[in-house]
Chain A
Amino acid sequence: MHNKTIAEISRDLAAGEYSSVEITTELLSRVQQLDSEYNSFITVTAEQALAQARAADERRAAGNAEAWTGIPIAHKDIFCTNGVLTTCGSKMLSNFTAPYDATVIDKFNAAGAVSLGKLNMDEFAMGSSNESSFFGPVANPWDKERVPGGSSGGSAAAVAARLVPGATATDTGGSIRQPAALCGVTGLKPTYGRISRWGMIAYASSLDQAGTITRSAEDAALMLQIMAGFDARDSTCMNQAVPDYSASLNNSIEGMTIGLPAEYFRDDLSADMQQAVRNAIAEYEKMGAKVKEISLPNAHLAIPAYYIIAPAECSANLSRMDGVRFGYRCEDPQDIEDLYKRSRGEGFGGEVKRRIMVGAYALSAGFYDAYYKKAQQVRRLIKNDFAAALQEVDLIAGPVTPTPAFRRGEKTSDPVEMYLEDIFTIALNLAGLPGMSVPCGQVNGLPVGLQLIGNYFDEARLLNAAHQFQQATDWHLQKPADI
């Protein structure tokens, strides 16, 4: 039962193959038995999950079931969940029970989905290996000595380990696509503004975007269908019609033009990684797609620009974590200064502190023009590159990561090396475009992801291309040996 996809569960529940309580119980017991090895959950809400499952079964019995009624999933612990611990992977919020639901949570609840709990992540979504979580690192199901990627490491690992069929996640610089690639699952980062950020704890507001981690593009379409749409509570959420994402999955991709950015296939990508990605491109050509080399001339500026803009925004976004109204507070503060310094000093981990410091520096008087303003100008150039490229092609394809999953501890001593993990994913966030990571091969027995990039609000075409690839290949069906 645990190998079923969301689409399959939806069909099975409708056909009466099993009940929501049955599959929820099955998955909860898997979590209980296996998650000590992965550490993908921070909080398991078993009782609430079973209550939701029972309600779903009753709804079905009453003849009111819909597509999502009774389907179990789990949420990245960055989404506020009413009455449930919401930690964002940090000691700072290790005691924070959110008093309201994020819009994304709201929508899944309204659709009748069942939530098994809250998934592990890098602290405040800052990291590419899930090693910065206060709740401990997450193991990659393909090799438990290796990282699952980050920051949505818990989401990717839980889906890869078949603990849940799908999970919500967020992507600020690659936090959905990179862990999806490293765990051999399907990740979707929609257009900035496609999904409401209300209730999603902010890291870098102009880059943060909610999305999905699933085992197929078909499931990603089902999740996006629930999550997408305008929300008056988020001023950056676009009032744009939501198409039926499942309806176009089976469209032919014959004649579709796929662009390959020259900058993404250079020496920094090893030969076997290149090969895996090129094989996937060849598959598309077989299906009738046209391939064209394109250029993103400012691609090399994406990481430096990102590491100004994201830290600058986070330096302000995380100021509310001050120990005054909620969250961690130090013992016996002597005065307000002491309360701030020790609460924040003790409550935040190293990577978070590093980014706050970098951001505060970049915004400080006399440096603003040289750093923040310059970075915003670079961002505009990067956006223009993509806009020009997408005039010529329908989709852009390339690698997601420079290497497959690396060993735990391998990159923790050098933050810059860790930052380079996102070299192929970060530009997309700066441009606000949608992207996917689709399993497309293996290197040394570890999964490799293909990145697909689409035009603004063109998620339907992305999902269509990913689904067609998954119809023609079975990389997305591969799973770790012990599962």
Chain B
Amino acid sequence: MEWEVVIGLEIHAQLATKSKIFSGAATAYGAEANTQACAVDLGLPGVLPVFNEEALRMAVKFGLAIDAEIGHRSVFDRKNYFYPDLPKGYQTTQLHHPIVGKGHIEIELEDGSTRIINVTRAHLEEDAGKSVHEGFNGMTGIDLNRAGTPLIEIVSEPEMRNAKEAAAYFRKMHSIVTYLGICDGDLSQGSMRCDCNVSLRPKGQQEFGTRTEIKNVNSFRNVERAIEAEIERQMDILEDGGKIVQETRLYDADKNETRAMRSKEVANDYRYFPCPDLLPVIIDDEYVNNVRATLPELPTSKRERFVNDHGLSPVDAAVLASDRDLAHYFETAAKLVNDYKLAANWVQGDVSAALNRLEVSINELPVSAQQLGRILSLIKDNTLNNGGAKEVFTAMADGKGDDSLECIDTLVDSMGLKQVSDSGAIEAIVDQVLTDNPKLVEGYLATPEDKRAKAIGPFIGLTRKAAKGVNPQVVMDVLKKKLSELG
């Protein structure tokens, strides 16, 4: 039978507020256990929550970025369940009246095509602490530093039809929240986590099949792999005439398979009700408009601008626009050299290669966007040829420079990379090469006219060896002239 895959994602993104959603404790990652948890985060008797307005602003910003309805009256609810790292025995979240309603985003697929995926809602909630199972002699430690960190949970419609679309959706959401500066996007620290709902149905059937939920997947690659593994598992069961059990599963990346969570890890009736300690959050149009005024250019419009205004290919534009910092780097360099295509080739080529080789982020690269712009400008004005530019870029990436633009000129000089375009100077070098290599000249002159274009190669090599940075076009012209004078 032919099956249709139905995927919906729930993404939790930690908001980059300085303090927690309902307390004044800091949210910074990596502090010593339980040093960033105040009485409110510990859920001590008598404490009360006070809503952090910065979290509201960020959530509204997100809502506007995905063209969503903004909840002018949103309400916090208590979701009740017992867990050791949930101090109050309930999570404060938003059930019926979320801050962000229906919206949508455009995802880009590998072939450059795009698709609209609808977002059902996004709501604010508090993160739980962490249970630490190692290092306590079989007991469990609790670290409440993370407890109360603001989260926005983004729920998609079940509109994705394969694992690649799901990964593209996750990637796009990552791109949007980092563009907005509302989440640091650090997947390895759990700043963004994804729950994947997966089901299969016979192609053409309207109603959904039974779904499973893969919890807490934390990388783009794992979203794709986990969903693929789960699709395969479900398909095997269905093909054998079996039934899917609605359950929560975990993805084991080492074994590349999903497994059911113990039923005890799955809570049942959350007994939601409006939190009586918090008032409904009412915002007016003026508030929303003020937030709207702070929206940066978002990846989709940036991509469209790269294509329409600067002639980049859709695929190149999508890659460059996907990451806020990379896009900024690219555009800064491109504007300086006033050549978007040249800059695009470089950022996707040498720059990306350097990032991979050095294992650094674009912001940590020793070559700044301004410096790259300068290097590319030197290509444009024929001071450097492409090879020389690569050499100076690599030298700088490896730390042989400083923050200044002047260091580029110094390096170009000291490395002897300056392209010699003065034909008088080149003629002298060429004369020397011809004088030093009489046999080659003889051979050349013996070559029939129509094959000479190829036979000129060795002279070019020798000339460039004799003087780095000679302009290859000028060398060719001079060689042709001199050789023709000889015969």
Interface pairs A-B: 9 shortest CB-CB: A319-B89, A205-B276, A363-B271, A206-B276, A320-B43, A199-B46, A80-B46, A201-B45, A201-B46
Query: A365 and B269 in contact (CB under 8 A), knowing A319-B89, A325-B87?
Result: yes
Residue pair A233, B48 in contact (C-beta under 8 Å): yes
- CB-nearest residue of chain B to A205: B276
Residue pair A235, B42 in contact (C-beta under 8 Å): no
Nearest-Cβ distance from residue B272 to partner chain A, whole angstroms: 8
Q: Which residues of A contact B47 (CB under 8 A)?
A: 198-199
- CB-nearest residue of chain B to A360: B271
- Alpha-carbon distance A232/B51, docked complex (angstroms): 11
In the complex, whether A34 has a CB less than 8 A from a CB of chain B is no
Which of B77-85, B233-241, B382-390, B400-408 forms part of the interface with chain A?
A: B77-85
- Alpha-carbon distance A215/B80, docked complex (angstroms): 42
Tell me which residues from 255 to 306 in chain B have a Cβ below 8 Å from any Cβ of chain A: 264, 269, 271-273, 276-279
- Alpha-carbon distance A325/B45, docked complex (angstroms): 11
Which among B49, B82, B142, B271 is the interface contact of A235 at CB below 8 angstroms? Answer: B49
Residue pair B46, A316 in contact (C-beta under 8 Å): no
Residue pair A316, B89 in contact (C-beta under 8 Å): yes
Which among A88, A234, A235, A324 is the interface contact of B45 at CB below 8 angstroms? Answer: A88
- Alpha-carbon distance A79/B46, docked complex (angstroms): 8
Residue pair B276, A313 in contact (C-beta under 8 Å): yes
- Alpha-carbon distance A99/B140, docked complex (angstroms): 24
In the complex, whether B50 has a CB less than 8 A from a CB of chain A is yes
In the complex, whether A328 has a CB less than 8 A from a CB of chain B is no
- CB-nearest residue of chain B to A196: B48
In the complex, whether A264 has a CB less than 8 A from a CB of chain B is no
Residue pair A324, B271 in contact (C-beta under 8 Å): no
- CB-nearest residue of chain B to A86: B45
Q: Which residues of A contact B269 (CB under 8 A)?
A: 364-365
Residue pair A233, B273 in contact (C-beta under 8 Å): no
Q: CB-CB contacts of A293-337 with B at 8 A, as 1s and 0s?
A: 000000000000000000011011011111011110000000011
Residue pair A325, B42 in contact (C-beta under 8 Å): yes
Residue pair A316, B39 in contact (C-beta under 8 Å): no
In the complex, whether A457 has a CB less than 8 A from a CB of chain B is no
Residue pair A235, B273 in contact (C-beta under 8 Å): no
Q: CB-CB contacts of B63-83 with A at 8 A, as 1s and 0s?
A: 000000000000000101010
Which among A99, A199, A232, A318 is the interface contact of B50 at CB below 8 angstroms? Answer: A232
Query: A96 and B45 in contact (CB under 8 A), knowing A315-B271, A316-B273, A319-B82?
Result: yes
- Alpha-carbon distance A40/B278, docked complex (angstroms): 34
9 further A-B contacts with Cβ under 8 Å, apart from A202-B46, A232-B50, A326-B44, are: A198-B48, A199-B47, A201-B45, A233-B50, A312-B273, A320-B43, A320-B45, A325-B87, A364-B271
Query: A324 and B279 in contact (CB under 8 A), knowing A99-B39, A312-B273?
Result: no
- CB-nearest residue of chain B to A365: B269
Residue pair B88, A319 in contact (C-beta under 8 Å): yes
In the complex, whether A372 has a CB less than 8 A from a CB of chain B is yes
Nearest-Cβ distance from residue A238 to partner chain B, whole angstroms: 10
In the complex, whether B90 has a CB less than 8 A from a CB of chain A is yes
- CB-nearest residue of chain A to B144: A325
Nearest-Cβ distance from residue B467 to partner chain A, whole angstroms: 74
Nearest-Cβ distance from residue A381 to partner chain B, whole angstroms: 18
Q: How many interface residues does chain A have, given as a range?
A: 35 or more
In the complex, whether A93 has a CB less than 8 A from a CB of chain B is yes
Q: Chain B interface (Cβ within 8 Å of chain A)? A: 39, 42-51, 78, 80, 82, 84, 87-90, 140, 142, 264, 269, 271-273, 276-279
- Alpha-carbon distance A201/B43, docked complex (angstroms): 11
Q: Which residues of A contact B277 (CB under 8 A)?
A: 202, 205, 235-236
- Alpha-carbon distance A96/B39, docked complex (angstroms): 14
Q: Which residues of B contact A18 (CB under 8 A)?
A: none
- Alpha-carbon distance A372/B278, docked complex (angstroms): 18
Nearest-Cβ distance from residue B472 to partner chain A, whole angstroms: 71
In the complex, whether A340 has a CB less than 8 A from a CB of chain B is yes
In the complex, whether A98 has a CB less than 8 A from a CB of chain B is yes
Residue pair A319, B276 in contact (C-beta under 8 Å): no
Nearest-Cβ distance from residue B205 to partner chain A, whole angstroms: 28
- Alpha-carbon distance A318/B140, docked complex (angstroms): 23
Q: Which residues of A contact B45 (CB under 8 A)?
A: 80, 86, 88, 93, 96, 98, 201-202, 320-321, 326-327
- CB-nearest residue of chain A to B140: A336
Residue pair A200, B273 in contact (C-beta under 8 Å): no
Q: CB-CB contacts of A165-204 with B at 8 A, as 1s and 0s?
A: 0000000000000000000000000000000011111101
In the complex, whether A368 has a CB less than 8 A from a CB of chain B is yes
In the complex, whether A462 has a CB less than 8 A from a CB of chain B is no
In the complex, whether A430 has a CB less than 8 A from a CB of chain B is no
Q: CB-CB contacts of A333-370 with B at 8 A, as 1s and 0s?
A: 00011001000000000000000000010011100100
Residue pair B44, A99 in contact (C-beta under 8 Å): yes
Nearest-Cβ distance from residue A113 to partner chain B, whole angstroms: 20
- Alpha-carbon distance A317/B324, docked complex (angstroms): 43
Nearest-Cβ distance from residue A320 to partner chain B, whole angstroms: 4
Q: Which residues of B contact A206 (CB under 8 A)?
A: 276
In the complex, whether A102 has a CB less than 8 A from a CB of chain B is yes
Nearest-Cβ distance from residue B279 to partner chain A, whole angstroms: 6
- Alpha-carbon distance A326/B46, docked complex (angstroms): 13
Nearest-Cβ distance from residue B417 to partner chain A, whole angstroms: 63
Nearest-Cβ distance from residue A247 to partner chain B, whole angstroms: 31
Nearest-Cβ distance from residue A107 to partner chain B, whole angstroms: 15
Residue pair B84, A336 in contact (C-beta under 8 Å): yes
Nearest-Cβ distance from residue A192 to partner chain B, whole angstroms: 11
- Alpha-carbon distance A61/B44, docked complex (angstroms): 39
Residue pair B78, A316 in contact (C-beta under 8 Å): yes
Q: Which residues of A contact B264 (CB under 8 A)?
A: 337
Residue pair B273, A368 in contact (C-beta under 8 Å): yes
- CB-nearest residue of chain B to A237: B48
27 examples of A-B residue contacts, CB within 8 angstroms: A79-B46, A80-B45, A86-B46, A98-B44, A198-B46, A201-B45, A206-B276, A233-B48, A234-B50, A235-B49, A235-B51, A236-B48, A236-B276, A312-B273, A316-B80, A319-B88, A320-B87, A321-B45, A322-B89, A324-B142, A325-B44, A325-B87, A327-B45, A337-B264, A364-B269, A368-B271, A372-B273
